Structure 1
Amino acid sequence: MPPVEEVDIAAVRYKPPTLQAPHLTGFSLRAFLWLMESSLLGPLITSVLKSQNNMPQADPEPEVVLVDEDRDLVERVHEALQCLPQYDPSIRWTTEENPPFLYWKIRDFAHAYRSGITTPSAVAEYVIAGVEEWNNKKPPMPMLIYFNADDLKKQAEASTKRFQQGNPISILDGVFVAIKDDIDCFPYPTKGATTFFDQIHTVEKDAVCVARLRKCGVIFIGKANMHELGLGVTGNNPNYGTARNPHSVDRYTGGSSSGPAALVSSGLCSAAIGTDGGGSVRIPSALCGIVGFKTTYGRTDMTGVLCDSGTVEVASPLVSSVEDAILSPLCVPNLLSPENSNILGSVKIGKYTEWFNDVSDHEISSTCDNALKLLCSAFGCQIEEITLPELEEMRTAHVVSIGSESFCDLNPHYKAGRKTEFTLDTRTSLALFGSFTATDYVASQSIRRRIMHYHMEAFKKVDVIATPTTGITAPKIPPSALKSGESNYVVSAYLMRFIIAGNLLGLPAITVPVGHDKQGLPIGLQLIGRPWGEASLLRVASAVEELCLKKRKRPSAFYDILKA
């Protein structure tokens, strides 16, 4: 490839990805895995797969520096609260007979507790009943891997006591939050949704991101289900059962943060914390009709997260509204700084139309396009056509990067007699990842630097880049996949079509629900920002959410834990 400075952007034409891989479940998946893991045929198969799917051929990458906390955590949350419009309980606590569907927000819980409408202990009882009902459905639809009703009641009692004494810790006190099972949350074990990782990984204290939330008074409802070790984007998990989409229980939630998305979408908690290394927060959020916010790489300390050594993964919130993302201690930027004061009318939104329209059904791109038109009409934002070269190279560079980094973490256990304890699709992924060489990885980092150059050139013209979040809506769950897992790289590629820049380049990105398809399945619009540009991203996302609010639909499986 020519040097990035010599690439003629005007001459670039979008090339739809041509991913070639078999769709496998059951016996065919087992047979294919046996061939991939064999010393004789395995290298040949992986070589063919890599050749067919344009793995990169072989400039160092700028270092990413963690951002230190600049003030007290509770103070930061309070500062974020001051940036929100004044709370009006009459809007939320309406007496209308058939009000439009709205999720309860964090400030609704705070109002209910402070005004004596209910208590954290009372709400906890409804959460417990909802979780148990969901787990006892046939087939079971487990959103949580670890759930302790007694511990939940104990946390709720402590929060209730603080409110009774007039001394809540913060606006987040008494808010119910789920933690994905690859993040340490003491005293629960961390398995990464495997059957054995708790024997290797001991939990002695909270992950840093969990400790932040605990300091603010949140109530943890347990460890949420996920795609095993985060190595998939459907949410399939034969080990504990597959979490189901609250909008249609015969469909996937998306993954890998499947349980967190299902819990927030179903109303059983206000927020959840997941991890996003390849869309694992944004994909399930979009498919389940909620907000998922991946922050800039380095904004969140990853200490205490199972796979915390990579260069693509960030712990991030899944919430029911943009407002609640603003209040999350994981992503609160300095919202009051001068550079964050520009008005919406001056915002320029980048759109690469050919890429934007590369979806499985035109309904997805048209719904997202209509949301952008509403934004421009209401606030005067401008759409600017942009071109982003080498998107297919970006995809393969991400596969090699996340695959190599995951394999480095897992290889000692994979080779120490634990291989057969992983699920079949995890083993299939690891067999491919293990074939990547040091040369592949270095070549991918060279491509990463090129792709960053193209994006930063685009950000000289625009403030945010808009895409659909996913190229398809929630896919159906094949019955055979529930027991043995599933390998379907074509579906995964559609789910990840617009996701990669947020991870490979570390850019902040947020998905906002903007409508539904003909089957009633949610569609999300993704907004991608400059590094550390969370404040601008949240401003635009909030406007999009407000304009599309009436298009949101109540999930078929929903628990109204506050009004109950």
Structure 2
Amino acid sequence: MVKKQVMLPANEVDLTAVEYLPEKIEAPHLTGFWFKLFVKVIEAPVIGSFIASHLKEKNGITEILKNTVIPEVPMFIPQFPLQEQEPGVVCLGEDGKPKEQVDLAFKYLPHYDPASRWSSDSGESSQFRCWKIRDYEYAYRNKLTTPSMVAEHFISAMEVFNSKQPSAPLLISFDPEEVRRQAAASTQRFEKGKQLSILEGIFIAVKDDIDCYPHPSKGGSKWFHEVRQVKADGVPVSRLRNNGAILVGKTNMHEFGMGTTGNNPNYGTPRNPHNPKRYTGGSSSGSAAIVASGLCSAALGTDAGGSVRIPASLCGVVGLKTTFGRTDLTGSLWEAGTVTIIGPITATVEDAILVYAAISGSSPTDRIQLNPSIPNFPDLSSSESSNILGSLTLGKYTKWFNDVSSTDISDKCEDVLNQLFRRYGCKTTEIVIPELRELRTAHTVTFGSESLSFLNPDCEAGKGVRLTNDTRTNLALFRSFAASDYISAQCLRRRIMYYHMEIFKKVDVIVTPTTGMTAPEIPESALAVGETNLQVVARLMQFAMTANVLGLPAISVPIGHDKQGLPIGLQLIGRPWCEASILRLAVAVEEMSAEYRKKPVEFYDILKGNGFHDSTEE
């Protein structure tokens, strides 16, 4: 007989007695024939249930969900206490027009001179600097190039990517003529001096689970467009289009977001621009890779468990997860989700601010149930910005922070914190975050139950056999969760929210590495049939899940590389609705880390059309 465990109420837990338990996942790593066999077994009625139960018991999930009394009441959607207004911010307003929001964000960026950058940059320099959105705007406005000329550079680059063997497409829905049509309209607006915003003529890609008309939304699958038609843009996509952005197509992704590597046997697995033998991270794999490769200034991704921040970190770019409800999920596959957001992946933090300003705005439903504060962003043009930065207190849970696969990661992140203190006076204070294993369980059950609810009708109608082996394995595990497990997960969610709101009474931002490892290798045997490697999944997700379970804003900023030349990201987690604080801090982190940023092995300068840079040939 199993002994029942009874949790103390969260407000009675003695934080001084909390012990950190390192992440430990027990599950097989399978690819090729053995993976295909495993899928058949785990989907079998009797033995499959036994295997799922065994995996849950081995990883402590059964103990938490079945054998523990949790005193808190469920929290089915993130619920936040009212937050004080951050200092030094510019408010957008919930009902502002996208163009007005972008214009306002542009007005309060720090000084930057695109003219000197354009005239002095030869395409090669000792320090890698990618083009900003402001560089494109300057070049267009001064007739140094046109959106139509850049479109031809982009189309030529896509032909190169699409001809690679093995197949590793960044876009799985792409129409060159549609890109040319948008670019021609944008070029004409520049010729008439009627550009819509600073995003006019900016090339932006859209993840395949967000609607972008006339492209289908497949969710990285081979069949979902057969059961769901796209009749209009999703709300964030519409806002970008109204700002003059050129929407180039739908990016490759881990099928239905059920993985963190980006592996996709349906269309080919995207390769990391810094090392093509490595994964990009997922599930917004194509979105991160297309930005890191220089082909787009920005891409939209979805983030339900780190799926914007993880690939951004592994590919050396910026990934912003907004507060849950800050961006409208209408017109995405995840409209009914409670852990998912739509967020930008960009080359720079400044560009993330501009895209965030364009897509920001809650849905009418979320305004009622979440009561969001007014969207805002930091005033970076003010001389007070440095003083505000210096007043921030950063929270660091050292044992968790250092629990990474290589000290290269923790050492780089620690160095950034030291620099923030020396340069700005940002204080770092020790914090304790209880029940991280319970947090992981709450996320697994919540995301799994929501995904199963979304896909189950089509699976029951016979589409399930057309899913990848990875997705089928995950769904088999998710089907083993009972209704009582879902309730227990939501009780855990409330406990974990309480701990974090208490932490945020003492600190402004929680700092962690973005991922517990740098980009993992792609096994050759995984390209055709996929793979299951929950140890890698756990390493990639261990710092990311908090922001999804609790709906908190978070951003990943590139800060350098490990000894293998693979990018490392620093994650900043903020209070609810406080995107401005993490964006302000991210700008400072990016500036301090600029000298460590390296040009990817695969990089294409579509603004000047200089072609690929392949450092392996130097």
TM-score, shorter chain, exceeding 0.5: yes
Contact 1:349/1:384 (CA < 8 Å) preserved in 2? Answer: yes
Aligned to 2:75: 61
3-state DSSP class of the match of 1:272?
strand
Match of 1:495 among 540, 561, 580: 540
Q: Residue 120 of structure 2: SS of its match in structure 1? A: coil
Cα distance in 1 for partners of 2:158, 2:508 equals: 41
Counterparts of 1:335 and 1:496 in 2: how far apart (Å)? 27
Q: CA deviation at 1:86?
A: 2.5
Give the secondary structure class of the aligned counterpart of 2:472.
helix
Q: How does 1:149-298 map to 2 (within 5 A)?
A: 149-298=176-325
Equivalent position to 1:15, from 17, 21, 30:
21
Structure 1 counterpart SS, 2:46? coil
Counterpart-to-counterpart distance in 2, 1:282 and 1:32: 30
Contact 2:115 2:138 in 1 (8 A): no
Q: Percent identity?
A: 56
1:4 paired with 2:33, answer: no
1:77-128 per-position Cα deviation (integer Å, ceiling 9, x unaligned): 1111111112312442242665321111111100000011100000000000
The answer to whether the Cα contact below 8 Å between 1:54 and 1:393 also exists between their aligned partners in 2 is no
Show the counterpart of 2:359.
Answer: 330
CA contact (8 A) 2:114 2:134 kept: no
Other-structure match for 1:120: 147
3-state SS, counterpart of residue 45 of structure 2: coil
CA drift at 1:336: 6.5
Take 1:62 and 1:232, find their aligned partners in 2: how far apart are those partners? 23
> Offset of 1:13 from its aligned partner?
1.6
Give the letter aligned to residue 227 of structure 1.
Answer: H
Which residue, 503, 524, 527 being the options, matches 1:482?
A: 527
Structure 1 position 72, deviation (Å): 1.9
Judging changes above 3 Å, is the alpha-carbon distance between structure 1 residues 62 and 148 closer, same or farther for their aligned structure 2 residues?
closer
Give per-residue Cα distances to partners, 1:388-433, cap 9 Å, x unaligned: 0000110011000000110000011111111210001110000000
CA distance, structure 2, for counterparts of residue 414 and residue 304 of structure 1: 21
Q: CA RMSD in A?
A: 1.7
Q: State the TM-score, normalizing by the size of structure 2.
A: 0.89
* CA distance in 2 between partners of 1:91 and 1:141 (Å): 36
1:252 is paired with a residue whose SS is: coil
Residue 379 of structure 1 corresponds to 424
**Cα distance 1:395–1:91, how it changes in 2: closer, same or farther (>3 A)?**
farther
- Paired with 1:398 and 1:92, the residues of 2 have a C-alpha distance of 45
Q: Which amino acid aligns with 2:36?
A: R
Q: Give 3-state SS (helix, strand or coil) of 1:335's partner.
A: strand
Matched residue, 1:70: 95
CA distance in 1, matches of 2:526, 2:556: 27
| Superposed CA offset, 1:274-308 (max 9, x none) | 10001000000000000000000000110110122
The structure 1 residue matched to 2:337, chosen from 296, 302, 310, is: 310
Cα displacement (A) at 1:138: 2.0
**2:31 counterpart of 1:28:** no
Asked if 2 retains the 8 angstrom alpha-carbon contact of 1:209 and 1:300, the reply is yes
TM-superposition CA deviations, 1:192-224 (whole Å, max 9, x none):
111110110100000011101011110011110
Q: Which sits farther off after the overlay, 54-63 or 291-300? A: 54-63
Q: CA deviation at 1:321?
A: 0.4
SS of equivalent residue, structure 1 residue 528: strand
Specify the code of the residue in structure 1 equivalent to 2:112.
Answer: Y
| Structure 2 residue aligned with 1:445 | 490
Tell me whether 1:361 sits opposite 2:441 in the alignment: no
Q: CA deviation at 1:32?
A: 1.4
Match of 2:133 in 1: 106
Q: Which residue of 2 aligns with 1:402?
A: 447
Q: Structure 2 counterpart of 1:353, which letter?
A: T
Distance 2:315 2:77 in 1: 35
Is 1:48 aligned to 2:51, yes or no? Answer: no
**Amino acid of the structure 2 residue aligned with 1:330:** I
Residue 554 of structure 1: which of 599, 604, 618 is its match? 599
1:35-83 Cα offsets, whole Å, 9 max, x none, are 1111111111111111111223251327558998232221111111111
Measured in 2, the distance between the counterparts of 1:63 and 1:25 equals 36
8 Å CA contact 1:64, 1:298 repeated in 2: no
2:499 to 439, 454, 465: 454
Gaps of 5+ in 2: 1-6, 81-91, 362-374, 610-618
Q: What amino acid maps onto 2:312 in structure 1?
A: S
Corresponding residue of 1:38: 44
Q: For 1:485-524, list aligned pairs within 5 A.
A: 485-524=530-569
CA offsets per residue over residues 477-497 of structure 1, 9 Å max, x none? Answer: 000000000100000000001
Q: Which residue identity does 1:18 align to in structure 2? A: K
Distance 1:476 1:20 in 2: 20
SS in 1 for 2:209: coil
- Mapped to 1, the partners of 2:14 and 2:34 lie a distance apart of 45
What SS class does the counterpart of residue 607 from structure 2 fall into? coil
3-state SS of 1:470 partner? coil
Contact 2:283 2:311 (C-alpha < 8 Å) held by counterparts: yes
- SS of match in other structure, 1:274: strand
Separation in 2, partners of 1:357, 1:215: 44
TM-score by length of 1: 0.97
Alignment size in residue pairs: 563
The counterpart of 1:145, out of the listed 159, 172, 175, is 172
- Which residue is equivalent to 2:365? none
